[in-house]
Protein backbone atom coordinates (compact mmCIF):
# COMPACT_ATOMS: atom_id res chain seq x y z
CA UNK A 1 0.00 0.00 0.00
CA UNK A 2 1.42 3.43 -0.87
CA UNK A 3 1.65 6.25 1.65
CA UNK A 4 -1.27 8.24 0.31
CA UNK A 5 -3.63 5.26 0.31
CA UNK A 6 -2.55 4.45 3.87
CA UNK A 7 -3.30 8.01 4.99
CA UNK A 8 -6.67 7.83 3.23
CA UNK A 9 -7.48 4.52 4.91
CA UNK A 10 -6.67 5.96 8.33
CA UNK A 11 -8.88 9.02 7.76
CA UNK A 12 -11.78 7.01 6.30
CA UNK A 13 -11.75 4.93 9.47
CA UNK A 14 -11.64 7.94 11.76
CA UNK A 15 -8.03 7.42 12.80
CA UNK A 16 -7.14 11.08 12.37
CA UNK A 17 -4.57 11.18 15.16
CA UNK A 18 -2.64 8.25 13.66
CA UNK A 19 -2.89 9.95 10.24
CA UNK A 20 -1.59 13.23 11.71
CA UNK A 21 1.38 11.47 13.27
CA UNK A 22 2.10 9.60 10.05
CA UNK A 23 2.16 12.84 8.07
CA UNK A 24 4.89 14.19 10.35
CA UNK A 25 7.26 11.30 9.57
CA UNK A 26 10.07 11.17 7.05
CA UNK A 27 9.85 8.99 3.94
CA UNK A 28 11.10 5.81 5.64
CA UNK A 29 8.80 6.25 8.65
CA UNK A 30 5.78 6.77 6.40
CA UNK A 31 6.61 3.65 4.43
CA UNK A 32 6.94 1.64 7.64
CA UNK A 33 3.56 2.79 8.89
CA UNK A 34 1.91 2.32 5.49
CA UNK A 35 2.99 -1.33 5.56
CA UNK A 36 1.31 -1.74 8.97
CA UNK A 37 -1.86 0.02 7.87
CA UNK A 38 -2.08 -2.24 4.81
CA UNK A 39 -2.43 -5.25 7.10
CA UNK A 40 -5.20 -3.86 9.31
CA UNK A 41 -8.46 -5.78 9.26
CA UNK A 42 -10.77 -2.76 9.63
CA UNK A 43 -13.79 -4.94 10.16
CA UNK A 44 -12.15 -6.15 13.35
CA UNK A 45 -11.98 -2.59 14.68
CA UNK A 46 -15.58 -1.94 13.67
CA UNK A 47 -16.65 -4.96 15.71
CA UNK A 48 -15.48 -3.41 18.98
CA UNK A 49 -18.76 -1.80 19.86
CA UNK A 50 -20.94 -4.83 19.23
CA UNK A 51 -18.56 -7.31 20.83
CA UNK A 52 -17.52 -5.26 23.86
CA UNK A 53 -21.23 -4.96 24.62
CA UNK A 54 -21.13 -8.76 24.97
CA UNK A 55 -23.47 -10.33 22.46
CA UNK A 56 -23.43 -13.91 23.71
CA UNK A 57 -25.36 -16.08 21.27
CA UNK A 58 -28.01 -18.58 22.35
CA UNK A 59 -26.15 -21.67 23.49
CA UNK A 60 -27.42 -25.16 24.15
CA UNK A 61 -25.02 -26.50 26.75
CA UNK A 62 -24.68 -30.24 27.43
CA UNK A 63 -22.16 -32.37 29.33
CA UNK A 64 -19.25 -33.98 27.49
CA UNK A 65 -18.01 -37.32 28.81
CA UNK A 66 -14.38 -37.34 29.89
CA UNK A 67 -11.76 -40.03 30.28
CA UNK A 68 -11.42 -39.73 34.05
CA UNK A 69 -8.63 -40.82 36.38
CA UNK A 70 -10.44 -44.04 37.25
CA UNK A 71 -10.76 -44.93 33.53
CA UNK A 72 -7.12 -44.09 32.99
CA UNK A 73 -6.11 -46.32 35.89
CA UNK A 74 -7.90 -49.25 34.25
CA UNK A 75 -6.60 -48.68 30.72
CA UNK A 76 -3.25 -47.08 31.35
CA UNK A 77 -1.05 -49.84 29.93
CA UNK A 78 -3.00 -49.96 26.71
CA UNK A 79 -3.10 -46.15 26.32
CA UNK A 80 0.64 -45.93 26.90
CA UNK A 81 1.36 -48.68 24.40
CA UNK A 82 -0.71 -46.95 21.70
CA UNK A 83 0.87 -43.58 22.51
CA UNK A 84 4.43 -44.88 22.48
CA UNK A 85 3.86 -46.63 19.18
CA UNK A 86 2.58 -43.38 17.61
CA UNK A 87 5.51 -41.40 19.01
CA UNK A 88 8.05 -43.94 17.78
CA UNK A 89 6.47 -43.82 14.30
CA UNK A 90 7.05 -40.03 14.34
CA UNK A 91 3.33 -39.35 14.31
CA UNK A 92 3.30 -36.88 17.21
CA UNK A 93 4.63 -33.31 17.09
CA UNK A 94 4.40 -30.57 19.69
CA UNK A 95 3.69 -26.87 19.28
CA UNK A 96 4.80 -24.52 22.03
CA UNK A 97 2.71 -21.35 22.08
CA UNK A 98 5.24 -18.73 23.03
CA UNK A 99 4.03 -15.69 21.12
CA UNK A 100 2.24 -14.06 24.05
CA UNK A 101 3.50 -11.02 25.87
CA UNK A 102 2.94 -11.97 29.49
CA UNK A 103 1.48 -8.55 30.26
CA UNK A 104 0.12 -9.68 33.63
CA UNK A 105 3.66 -10.51 34.71
CA UNK A 106 4.87 -7.22 33.27
CA UNK A 107 7.72 -8.87 31.37
CA UNK A 108 9.70 -7.30 28.59
CA UNK A 109 11.44 -10.53 27.66
CA UNK A 110 9.78 -13.73 26.36
CA UNK A 111 7.78 -15.37 29.15
CA UNK A 112 9.65 -18.65 28.69
CA UNK A 113 12.92 -16.97 29.68
CA UNK A 114 11.54 -16.31 33.17
CA UNK A 115 13.96 -17.72 35.73
CA UNK A 116 12.16 -19.07 38.78
CA UNK A 117 15.18 -20.80 40.26
CA UNK A 118 16.32 -20.28 43.85
CA UNK A 119 19.30 -22.60 44.40
CA UNK A 120 20.03 -22.78 40.66
CA UNK A 121 18.66 -21.34 37.45
CA UNK A 122 15.40 -22.81 36.23
CA UNK A 123 13.78 -21.17 33.25
CA UNK A 124 10.24 -21.88 32.11
CA UNK A 125 11.49 -23.00 28.70
CA UNK A 126 14.05 -25.23 30.39
CA UNK A 127 11.55 -27.12 32.54
CA UNK A 128 9.21 -27.60 29.56
CA UNK A 129 12.08 -29.10 27.58
CA UNK A 130 12.92 -31.40 30.50
CA UNK A 131 9.30 -32.52 30.60
CA UNK A 132 9.48 -33.31 26.91
CA UNK A 133 12.85 -35.02 27.29
CA UNK A 134 11.24 -37.44 29.76
CA UNK A 135 9.16 -38.72 26.85
CA UNK A 136 12.15 -38.79 24.52
CA UNK A 137 14.03 -40.89 27.08
CA UNK A 138 11.09 -43.20 27.58
CA UNK A 139 10.35 -43.76 23.90
CA UNK A 140 13.80 -43.35 22.38
CA UNK A 141 12.30 -40.95 19.81
CA UNK A 142 12.60 -37.19 19.51
CA UNK A 143 9.35 -35.31 19.18
CA UNK A 144 9.44 -32.54 16.54
CA UNK A 145 8.95 -29.32 18.47
CA UNK A 146 7.63 -26.19 16.76
CA UNK A 147 7.89 -22.99 18.74
CA UNK A 148 5.54 -20.15 17.89
CA UNK A 149 6.95 -16.72 18.64
CA UNK A 150 5.86 -13.24 17.61
CA UNK A 151 7.67 -10.45 15.79
CA UNK A 152 8.25 -8.97 19.24
CA UNK A 153 10.03 -11.88 20.83
CA UNK A 154 11.30 -14.14 18.06
CA UNK A 155 14.87 -12.91 18.07
CA UNK A 156 15.19 -13.11 21.86
CA UNK A 157 13.58 -16.55 21.97
CA UNK A 158 15.79 -18.08 19.30
CA UNK A 159 18.90 -16.51 20.85
CA UNK A 160 17.92 -17.84 24.29
CA UNK A 161 17.54 -21.40 23.06
CA UNK A 162 20.86 -21.24 21.22
CA UNK A 163 22.63 -19.71 24.21
CA UNK A 164 21.40 -22.62 26.35
CA UNK A 165 22.10 -25.28 23.70
CA UNK A 166 18.37 -26.05 23.55
CA UNK A 167 18.64 -27.42 27.10
CA UNK A 168 19.87 -30.71 25.69
CA UNK A 169 17.12 -31.15 23.09
CA UNK A 170 18.28 -32.14 19.59
CA UNK A 171 17.99 -28.83 17.75
CA UNK A 172 17.32 -30.53 14.42
CA UNK A 173 13.89 -31.33 15.87
CA UNK A 174 13.17 -27.70 16.81
CA UNK A 175 11.61 -25.18 14.40
CA UNK A 176 10.63 -21.60 15.19
CA UNK A 177 7.82 -19.83 13.39
CA UNK A 178 6.38 -16.37 13.83
CA UNK A 179 2.71 -15.56 14.36
CA UNK A 180 0.78 -12.62 12.92
CA UNK A 181 0.21 -9.28 14.59
CA UNK A 182 -2.84 -7.04 15.07
CA UNK A 183 -3.11 -3.38 16.11
CA UNK A 184 -4.16 -2.35 19.63
CA UNK A 185 -6.63 0.44 20.30
CA UNK A 186 -7.86 2.61 23.15
CA UNK A 187 -11.37 2.27 24.56
CA UNK A 188 -12.70 4.46 21.73
CA UNK A 189 -11.21 2.27 19.07
CA UNK A 190 -8.38 4.69 18.26
CA UNK A 191 -5.08 3.13 17.21
CA UNK A 192 -2.25 3.39 19.72
CA UNK A 193 1.29 4.17 18.55
CA UNK A 194 4.23 2.43 20.23
CA UNK A 195 7.00 4.34 18.46
CA UNK A 196 6.85 7.54 16.52
CA UNK A 197 6.75 5.57 13.28
CA UNK A 198 4.95 2.46 14.44
CA UNK A 199 1.45 1.51 15.44
CA UNK A 200 1.15 -0.45 18.69
CA UNK A 201 1.00 -3.97 17.33
CA UNK A 202 0.59 -7.11 19.39
CA UNK A 203 0.44 -10.82 18.63
CA UNK A 204 -3.03 -11.76 17.42
CA UNK A 205 -3.77 -14.49 19.95
CA UNK A 206 -2.91 -18.16 20.18
CA UNK A 207 -5.73 -19.31 17.85
CA UNK A 208 -3.73 -18.41 14.76
CA UNK A 209 -1.01 -20.97 15.46
CA UNK A 210 -1.97 -23.45 12.74
CA UNK A 211 -2.48 -20.82 10.03
CA UNK A 212 0.84 -19.28 11.01
CA UNK A 213 2.45 -22.71 10.66
CA UNK A 214 0.96 -23.07 7.19
CA UNK A 215 2.07 -19.54 6.21
CA UNK A 216 5.56 -20.44 7.37
CA UNK A 217 5.48 -23.34 4.90
CA UNK A 218 5.60 -26.00 7.62
CA UNK A 219 2.94 -28.31 6.18
CA UNK A 220 5.60 -29.96 4.02
CA UNK A 221 7.83 -30.44 7.06
CA UNK A 222 4.99 -32.03 9.06
CA UNK A 223 4.18 -34.37 6.18
CA UNK A 224 7.83 -35.24 5.58
CA UNK A 225 8.20 -36.25 9.21
CA UNK A 226 4.99 -38.30 9.06
CA UNK A 227 3.21 -36.24 11.73
CA UNK A 228 -0.44 -37.13 12.32
CA UNK A 229 -1.08 -35.51 15.70
CA UNK A 230 -0.08 -32.15 17.11
CA UNK A 231 0.09 -31.45 20.84
CA UNK A 232 -0.39 -27.71 21.35
CA UNK A 233 0.56 -26.32 24.74
CA UNK A 234 1.07 -23.04 26.57
CA UNK A 235 4.42 -21.70 27.69
CA UNK A 236 3.39 -21.03 31.27
CA UNK A 237 2.22 -24.35 32.73
CA UNK A 238 5.55 -25.51 34.06
CA UNK A 239 4.35 -28.93 35.21
CA UNK A 240 2.53 -30.07 32.12
CA UNK A 241 3.40 -33.32 30.42
CA UNK A 242 3.91 -32.85 26.70
CA UNK A 243 3.37 -35.60 24.12
CA UNK A 244 2.29 -37.67 27.11
CA UNK A 245 2.02 -41.23 25.75
CA UNK A 246 -1.07 -42.09 27.83
CA UNK A 247 -2.90 -38.95 26.64
CA UNK A 248 -1.89 -39.59 23.03
CA UNK A 249 -3.01 -43.21 23.30
CA UNK A 250 -6.34 -42.37 24.93
CA UNK A 251 -7.12 -39.78 22.26
CA UNK A 252 -6.24 -42.15 19.43
CA UNK A 253 -8.30 -44.96 20.98
CA UNK A 254 -11.27 -42.64 21.49
CA UNK A 255 -11.54 -42.14 17.73
CA UNK A 256 -11.87 -38.39 18.31
CA UNK A 257 -10.00 -35.80 16.27
CA UNK A 258 -9.04 -33.90 19.40
CA UNK A 259 -8.07 -34.52 23.00
CA UNK A 260 -7.89 -31.95 25.77
CA UNK A 261 -6.06 -32.26 29.08
CA UNK A 262 -8.41 -31.17 31.82
CA UNK A 263 -8.35 -30.81 35.60
CA UNK A 264 -11.19 -31.28 38.04
CA UNK A 265 -12.52 -27.94 39.23
CA UNK A 266 -11.77 -27.16 42.88
CA UNK A 267 -15.19 -25.57 43.39
CA UNK A 268 -18.29 -24.86 41.29
CA UNK A 269 -17.40 -21.16 41.04
CA UNK A 270 -13.74 -21.59 40.07
CA UNK A 271 -12.88 -19.14 37.31
CA UNK A 272 -11.88 -21.58 34.62
CA UNK A 273 -13.18 -22.49 31.16
CA UNK A 274 -15.03 -25.79 31.31
CA UNK A 275 -15.32 -28.52 28.70
CA UNK A 276 -18.82 -29.33 27.52
CA UNK A 277 -20.88 -29.58 24.35
CA UNK A 278 -22.39 -26.41 22.91
CA UNK A 279 -24.96 -26.74 20.16
CA UNK A 280 -23.80 -30.32 19.61
CA UNK A 281 -20.08 -29.51 19.30
CA UNK A 282 -17.29 -29.94 21.79
CA UNK A 283 -16.66 -26.59 23.34
CA UNK A 284 -15.21 -24.64 26.24
CA UNK A 285 -17.60 -22.47 28.12
CA UNK A 286 -16.14 -19.62 30.12
CA UNK A 287 -17.03 -19.34 33.82
CA UNK A 288 -18.80 -16.00 33.29
CA UNK A 289 -21.03 -17.53 30.61
CA UNK A 290 -22.25 -20.31 32.89
CA UNK A 291 -25.31 -19.90 35.07
CA UNK A 292 -24.98 -20.64 38.78
CA UNK A 293 -27.44 -23.48 38.38
CA UNK A 294 -25.39 -25.15 35.65
CA UNK A 295 -22.13 -24.60 37.50
CA UNK A 296 -23.55 -26.35 40.59
CA UNK A 297 -25.22 -29.26 38.81
CA UNK A 298 -24.07 -32.62 40.19
CA UNK A 299 -23.99 -36.16 38.80
CA UNK A 300 -25.29 -39.20 40.68
CA UNK A 301 -21.82 -39.84 42.09
CA UNK A 302 -21.77 -36.32 43.55
CA UNK A 303 -19.22 -34.89 41.10
CA UNK A 304 -19.93 -31.71 39.14
CA UNK A 305 -21.56 -32.30 35.75
CA UNK A 306 -19.48 -29.45 34.32
CA UNK A 307 -16.47 -30.21 36.44
CA UNK A 308 -13.47 -30.26 34.11
CA UNK A 309 -11.45 -27.12 33.44
CA UNK A 310 -9.13 -26.81 30.45
CA UNK A 311 -5.36 -26.49 30.84
CA UNK A 312 -4.46 -25.29 27.33
CA UNK A 313 -2.94 -28.59 26.36
CA UNK A 314 -4.67 -30.08 23.32
CA UNK A 315 -3.92 -32.86 20.89
CA UNK A 316 -5.29 -32.24 17.39
CA UNK A 317 -5.43 -34.59 14.41
CA UNK A 318 -3.47 -33.01 11.57
CA UNK A 319 -5.95 -34.12 8.86
CA UNK A 320 -8.80 -32.39 10.66
CA UNK A 321 -6.74 -29.24 11.20
CA UNK A 322 -6.09 -29.11 7.46
CA UNK A 323 -9.81 -29.55 6.76
CA UNK A 324 -10.80 -26.62 8.98
CA UNK A 325 -7.85 -24.39 8.10
CA UNK A 326 -10.01 -22.11 5.90
CA UNK A 327 -12.65 -21.53 8.57
CA UNK A 328 -12.46 -18.17 10.25
CA UNK A 329 -12.03 -18.18 14.01
CA UNK A 330 -14.09 -15.70 16.03
CA UNK A 331 -12.21 -12.65 17.24
CA UNK A 332 -12.02 -11.89 20.95
CA UNK A 333 -11.62 -8.36 22.16
CA UNK A 334 -9.38 -8.48 25.20
CA UNK A 335 -8.73 -5.67 27.67
CA UNK A 336 -4.98 -5.29 28.23
CA UNK A 337 -2.25 -2.93 29.37
CA UNK A 338 -0.92 -1.41 26.15
CA UNK A 339 2.33 0.61 26.19
CA UNK A 340 2.05 3.65 23.91
CA UNK A 341 3.64 6.99 23.15
CA UNK A 342 1.68 10.07 24.05
CA UNK A 343 1.42 13.32 22.08
CA UNK A 344 4.74 14.50 23.51
CA UNK A 345 6.40 11.36 22.21
CA UNK A 346 6.92 9.90 25.72
CA UNK A 347 6.58 6.16 26.21
CA UNK A 348 3.83 5.35 28.70
CA UNK A 349 3.66 1.90 30.33
CA UNK A 350 0.23 1.75 31.95
CA UNK A 351 -0.27 0.13 35.35
CA UNK A 352 -3.81 -0.98 34.52
CA UNK A 353 -5.62 -1.93 31.30
CA UNK A 354 -6.04 0.97 28.92
CA UNK A 355 -7.51 -0.55 25.79
CA UNK A 356 -8.14 -3.57 23.64
CA UNK A 357 -6.14 -6.16 21.76
CA UNK A 358 -7.70 -8.54 19.25
CA UNK A 359 -7.10 -12.23 19.63
CA UNK A 360 -8.21 -15.54 18.24
CA UNK A 361 -8.05 -18.44 20.70
CA UNK A 362 -7.11 -22.10 20.44
CA UNK A 363 -10.22 -23.05 22.36
CA UNK A 364 -12.36 -21.90 19.43
CA UNK A 365 -10.64 -24.51 17.28
CA UNK A 366 -12.04 -27.18 19.56
CA UNK A 367 -15.54 -26.06 18.63
CA UNK A 368 -14.73 -26.66 14.98
CA UNK A 369 -14.02 -30.32 15.71
CA UNK A 370 -16.79 -32.90 15.44
CA UNK A 371 -15.61 -34.41 18.68
CA UNK A 372 -13.05 -33.99 21.42
CA UNK A 373 -12.19 -36.15 24.40
CA UNK A 374 -11.44 -34.45 27.73
CA UNK A 375 -8.65 -36.36 29.49
CA UNK A 376 -8.29 -35.85 33.23
CA UNK A 377 -4.90 -35.21 34.78
CA UNK A 378 -4.00 -34.86 38.44
CA UNK A 379 -4.03 -31.17 39.11
CA UNK A 380 -1.17 -31.07 41.63
CA UNK A 381 1.06 -33.00 39.24
CA UNK A 382 0.31 -31.33 35.93
CA UNK A 383 -1.15 -27.88 36.38
CA UNK A 384 1.04 -25.03 37.58
CA UNK A 385 0.36 -22.08 35.28
CA UNK A 386 2.25 -18.85 35.86
CA UNK A 387 0.02 -15.97 34.85
CA UNK A 388 0.16 -13.40 37.64
CA UNK A 389 2.78 -11.74 39.81
CA UNK A 390 1.17 -12.92 43.03
CA UNK A 391 -1.72 -15.03 44.28
CA UNK A 392 -3.55 -17.52 42.06
CA UNK A 393 -1.55 -18.98 39.19
CA UNK A 394 1.58 -17.08 40.12
CA UNK A 395 5.28 -17.76 40.44
CA UNK A 396 4.73 -18.49 44.15
CA UNK A 397 1.93 -21.01 43.58
CA UNK A 398 3.96 -22.71 40.84
CA UNK A 399 7.01 -22.98 43.11
CA UNK A 400 4.94 -24.72 45.78
CA UNK A 401 3.79 -27.24 43.19
CA UNK A 402 7.32 -27.77 41.89
CA UNK A 403 8.41 -28.60 45.45
CA UNK A 404 5.46 -30.94 45.86
CA UNK A 405 6.62 -32.78 42.76
CA UNK A 406 10.22 -33.00 43.93
CA UNK A 407 11.60 -30.74 41.22
CA UNK A 408 14.72 -28.89 42.36
CA UNK A 409 15.15 -25.22 41.56
P1 LIG B 1 -2.22 -15.94 27.75
O2 LIG B 1 -3.60 -15.77 27.29
O3 LIG B 1 -1.99 -16.29 29.16
O4 LIG B 1 -1.42 -14.62 27.36
O5 LIG B 1 -1.54 -16.98 26.80
P6 LIG B 1 0.03 -14.14 27.70
O7 LIG B 1 0.44 -13.25 26.59
O8 LIG B 1 0.99 -15.28 27.97
O9 LIG B 1 -0.12 -13.36 29.07
P10 LIG B 1 -0.99 -12.06 29.42
O11 LIG B 1 -2.43 -12.43 29.24
O12 LIG B 1 -0.57 -10.97 28.47
O13 LIG B 1 -0.61 -11.78 30.83
C14 LIG B 1 -1.73 -18.36 26.85
C15 LIG B 1 -0.70 -18.99 25.94
O16 LIG B 1 -0.88 -18.56 24.60
C17 LIG B 1 0.31 -17.97 24.10
C18 LIG B 1 1.07 -17.51 25.33
O19 LIG B 1 2.45 -17.39 25.02
C20 LIG B 1 0.75 -18.62 26.30
O21 LIG B 1 1.55 -19.75 26.06
N22 LIG B 1 -0.03 -16.86 23.20
C23 LIG B 1 -0.89 -15.90 23.62
C24 LIG B 1 0.55 -16.81 21.97
O25 LIG B 1 1.34 -17.70 21.60
N26 LIG B 1 0.20 -15.79 21.15
C27 LIG B 1 -0.64 -14.81 21.52
O28 LIG B 1 -0.90 -13.90 20.71
C29 LIG B 1 -1.21 -14.87 22.78
Q: Atom 10 in ligand 1: which residue has the minimum CA distance?
A: 102
With a cut of 80, say whether residue 47 has pLDDT above it: no
* CA nearest neighbour of 37 among 172, 180, 182: 182
Check residue 112 and report its DSSP letter.
Answer: G
Atom of ligand 1 nearest to the CA of 149: 25
Q: Atom 20 in ligand 1: which residue has the minimum CA distance?
A: 234
Please say whether the dihedral angle defined by the alpha carbons of residues 54, 283, 240 and 307, taken in this order, is positive or negative: positive
Q: Is the CB of 387 under 6 A from ligand 1?
A: yes
| Predicted confidence band of residue 57 (pLDDT cuts 50, 70, 90) | low
| Predicted confidence band of residue 169 (pLDDT cuts 50, 70, 90) | very high
Tell me which range, 77-91, 201-215, 356-370, is most confidently predicted by mean pLDDT.
Answer: 77-91
Alpha carbon distances (Å) from 110 to 16, 98, 101, 149, 333? 33, 8, 7, 9, 22
Q: Atom 23 in ligand 1: which residue has the minimum CA distance?
A: 100
Atom of ligand 1 nearest to the CA of 362: 16
- Report percent pLDDT > 70 for the chain: 98
Residues 288/281, Cβ–Cβ less than 8 Å: no
Tens digit of each residue's pLDDT (9 = 90 or more) over 316-327: 999 999 999 999
Q: Which helix (H) or strand (E) holds 289?
A: none
pTM above 0.95, yes or no: no
Atom of ligand 1 nearest to the CA of 385: 3
pLDDT of residue 55: 46
Residues 228/65, Cβ–Cβ less than 8 Å: no
* Cα 102 to middle of ligand 1, angstroms: 6
Distance separating alpha carbons of residues 279 and 75, to the nearest angstrom: 30
Distance separating alpha carbons of residues 225 and 390, to the nearest angstrom: 42
Residues 10/16, Cβ–Cβ less than 8 Å: yes
Phi and psi for 194 in degrees, rounded to 5?
-110, -20
Sequence-ordered strand ranges (E) for 63-144 = 92-97
More confident residue, 231 or 287: 231
* CA nearest neighbour of 286 among 270, 274, 278, 269: 274
Distance separating alpha carbons of residues 242 and 206, to the nearest angstrom: 17
Residues 55/364, Cβ–Cβ less than 8 Å: no
Q: Atom 28 in ligand 1: which residue has the minimum CA distance?
A: 205
pLDDT of residue 56: 47
* Cα 207 to middle of ligand 1, angstroms: 10
Q: Atom 4 in ligand 1: which residue has the minimum CA distance?
A: 100
Distance separating alpha carbons of residues 321 and 210, to the nearest angstrom: 8
Atom of ligand 1 nearest to the CA of 203: 28
With a cut of 80, say whether residue 406 has pLDDT above it: yes
> Candidates 152, 154, 180, 234: which one to mutate for ligand 1, based on the most atoms within 8 Å of Cβ?
234
Amino acid sequence: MDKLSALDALRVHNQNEAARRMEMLDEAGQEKMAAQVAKIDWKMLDDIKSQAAGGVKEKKVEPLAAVELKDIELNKASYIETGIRAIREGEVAAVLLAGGQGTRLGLDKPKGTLNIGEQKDLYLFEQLIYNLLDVVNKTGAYIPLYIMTSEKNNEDTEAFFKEHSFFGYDSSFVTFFVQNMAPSVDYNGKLYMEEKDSLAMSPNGNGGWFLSMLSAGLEADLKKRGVKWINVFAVDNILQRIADPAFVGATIQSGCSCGSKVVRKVSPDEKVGVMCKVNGHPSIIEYYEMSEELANLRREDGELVYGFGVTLNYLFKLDTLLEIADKKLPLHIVEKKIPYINEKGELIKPESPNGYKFETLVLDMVEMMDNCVPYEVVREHEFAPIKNKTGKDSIESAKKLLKLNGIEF
